[in-house]
Amino acid sequence: KAGVTQTPRYLIKTRGQQVTLSCSPISGHRSVSWYQQTPGQGLQFLFEYFSETQRNKGNFPGRFSGRQFSNSRSEMNVSTLELGDSALYLCASSTQPGPTSYEQYFGPGTRLTVT
């Protein structure tokens, strides 16, 4: 079974631009979560989607947004990029949210560099 895929793998953007990252979950997984990984802050939760609905949101500004499509694929968007947005953005999928299935499987991430 194929793992979580993320595109693109690497991205360089300029301050003020916006960016869209894509994530395809493991087949059969319907829940997708996004995390930001930086050397200083570590891994931080951005948001979680299930059945095209945002189920949970981390403590990030409104410039960070996401959505999920009916095929469970997800995208996240960052508008008005700042230098501090440079990070590895990770997507994780699980079968469904809630106490019956906790295991989250991560993709390889998208390395975003803002100059």
Partner 1 sequence: QQQVKQSPQSLIVQKGGISIINCAYENTAFDYFPWYQQFPGKGPALLIAIRPDVSEKKEGRFTISFNKSAKQFSLHIMDSQPGDSATYFCAASWAGTALIFGKGTTLSVSS
| Tokens matching residue 80 | 């008005």
- Is residue 101 part of the contact set for partner 1 (CB under 8 A)? yes
Could you say which residues in the range 79-98 bind partner 1, by CB under 8 A?
A: 90, 92, 94, 97-98
Closest contact distance (angstroms) between CB of 15 and partner 1 is 25
Which of 24, 32, 35, 87 binds partner 1 (CB under 8 A)? It is 35
Q: What's the chain's length in residues?
A: 115
Closest contact distance (angstroms) between CB of 59 and partner 1 is 10
